[in-house]
Amino acid sequence: MDQSETIICRCSDVTLEQIRALIAEGYLTFDEIKRITRAGMGPCQGKTCSQLIMRELSAATGKPMGELGFQKTRPAVVGVRLELFAEEGARDEQ
pTM of the model: 0.71
DSSP type of residue 45: T
3-state secondary structure of 9: strand
1.10.10.1100, 3.40.50.10740, 3.40.50.300, 1.10.3080.10: which CATH number matches 3-93?
1.10.10.1100
At 22 the three-state DSSP class reads helix
In angstroms, how far is the first alpha carbon of the chain from the final one?
64
- Return the pLDDT at 77: 67
- Phi/psi of residue 27, each to 5°? -85, 105
Burial of 24 (C-beta count, 10 Å sphere; 0-12/13-18/19+): exposed
pLDDT of residue 79: 72
pLDDT band at 74 (very low <50, low <70, confident <90, very high): low
Q: 89 vs 63, which has greater pLDDT?
A: 63
- Residue-range domain boundaries for the chain: 3-93
Beta bridge partners of 7: 15
Mean pLDDT of the chain: 86
